[in-house]
Every structure is written in C-alpha cells, then in structure tokens.
Amino acid sequence: MTTVYEDLGLPSGATPYPVEVRVRLAGAGGRPAMGKVVSTGEKIVGEELLRNGEGIDSSGMWSLELPGNADIQPEGTTWYVRRQVGCHVYVSYLSVPVTGGPFEAFTLEDDPLGTITPSALSAHASDLDLHGGGTTLDVKYVTTGGVVTGSGGGLFLAEIPGTTVTVPDLARPIDLWGRYVAKQQSGGPTEHAWAIVPQGIGGGVFFAIDSGSPAGLGTATARMGFLWGQLPAHSAGNYCLAASGASGNLTAAYDPSALQKLSLRAVAA
C-alpha cells in the first residue's frame, strides 16, 4: 500500500468548508471498476468518502493508503479522485506507484483511459503458472580483467565495475544469474568470496542474494563459477557482482575474456 495525501486550502490559505473527497478505482473512460490486488488477492470495490472531521482534518489535509496500480488486475486502472468544495467539483486521475511515498496527489496525476483490458484476458495474461516469464530484463558482460579489494575482514565485498543490471518494478519474481572468472593475483590470497548483491550497500555479504567461494586459486589458470538467486516481486533496483579476497590483503582478481565472459543477467521468472 502507498500513502497518497493532499492539503486543500482556499486562495487565502483558509481551510475550505464543507469539503467532500471521494476516491475509487477507475477503468475505461474513468468509469467505476472493480479490481483485484495481485499481491494479496483482495478485491477492490466501492469508494472512500472523506469529509471535514471524517478523514479531512482541521487544516484541510487528507490521506489514504492505496494499492499501487501495477499491482492491480485488470491492468491499466487509475484512481479517480473527486473533490467537492461547496458547489465546485474538481476531478483528477492518479496512477499510484507500488512502492515509495508518501506522494502528494497532484504529483501522480494521469489521464483516464479510453480502453481497458477485459478482466478475463487480464487475469489470463498475468497468471504466472501460464506465463512463466523468461524475458531478459538486463544483462552485462565483462571481458577485461581487473582487481578489486574488499574490506572488513572480507565481510564487505568490492563491486565489480561493469556488472550492474537494473531490475524494473514487476509483479513477478526475478532470477539473477551470475558467472565469475576468478584468479589469484600475484601475492594475493588463494581464496575469494563472490556474490550477487544490491548495488550501493558496499557489497556486504549479509545482503548477498547468492554467494560462492572458489578455493585453491592459482596465478596461472582462472576458475569459473556460477551464482543464482531469485528476487521477490516488486524488487526494483540495481544489482551487481562483488568480490573480496578471503584472507591476506583481501584482493580479488578476475580474468575473463571474449570466450569466457564474466556476466550478470536479470530474467523475469
């Protein structure tokens, strides 16, 4: 659920009275629609009615927790918001994100739809048992070797440049597939820790989506390993490969090539 709010005021700044705010789900042409929240299975019916002292406070402020439109069947709905201030009526349509917020209502304004997918077709299209995904969302390859240095006794891995993939906000799980090509740096440790991690948190191993520790590395031949992890639905963000030496100076060398690439791939499950 996402918090949407609005502070209503007269041109002078005074609180308008009486005020009535109605909020409901809208389909084609702004007409009332019944929806289903995909993540919870809850049906959305009726409308919320707010008045002065009943959901609208003394300063003209109201707020509601609303399901994000990307998490609602049928696809393509908006939220219809009708404000009546005295004899004047103001209507807008909101497209509410699944995550983030709180959002001020006017920042989410959208147009009412001219068409909407029939509910049976929408339910069929979003059935994960029938449509298992398989679409590549983003993929990164690295073919040039390098060295990174972890920290914190190896608990914090250094991010590998060029491996960041971006996952959009989808109502389905996401598979992350990683491949590393590890090698011992001259004078460096013979054991590494590799992982898939959310980008920007310093590669902490406690946040690893999957990890592996190739042991017995040498300076002559690179060793390849694979990583896999699944993100739950609505896990938008950036993810990357990260590594650290497991002992000594905590360096982790990698030695990919055009034939033996280091990679990270995000796939809709």
pLDDT (0 to 100) of residue 133: 67
In this prediction, residue 228 carries a pLDDT of: 96
Distance, in Å, from the CA atom of 164 to the CA atom of 178, rounded to the nearest integer, reads 11
- Unique residue bearing structure tokens 């041109």: 11
Does the fold of domain 136-268 match that of domain 2-125? no
Label the pairing between strands 109-110 and 61-66: unpaired
pLDDT reported for residue 119: 56
Question: Residue ranges per domain, the chain?
Answer: 2-125, 136-268
CB of 178 closer than 8 Å to CB of 228:
yes
* 173-196 confidence digits (pLDDT tens): 999 999 999 999 888 888 899 999
pLDDT of residue 114: 46
Q: Which amino acid is at 9?
A: G
What is the Cα–Cα distance from 203 to 215, expressed in whole angstroms?
20
Assigned CATH for 136-268: 2.60.120.760
pLDDT for the residue 254:
95
User: CA 236, 237, 240: angle at the middle one, nearest 5?
Assistant: 135
pLDDT tens profile 86-124: 899 999 999 999 999 899 998 998 876 544 455 556 666
Fold of 2-125: Immunoglobulin-like (2.60.40)
CA-closest candidate to residue 143, choices 266, 265, 222, 260 = 260
Strands 103-104 and 2-7: parallel
Question: Are the CB atoms for 158 and 241 separated by under 8 Å?
Answer: no
Q: What is the pLDDT along the chain (269 residues), one digit of tens a residue?
A: 899 999 999 999 898 999 999 999 998 878 899 999 999 999 999 999 999 999 999 999 999 999 999 999 998 899 999 999 989 999 999 999 999 989 999 899 887 654 445 555 666 666 655 555 688 999 999 999 999 999 887 788 999 999 999 999 988 899 999 999 999 988 888 889 999 999 987 677 788 999 998 878 899 888 899 999 999 999 999 999 999 998 778 999 999 999 899 999 999 98
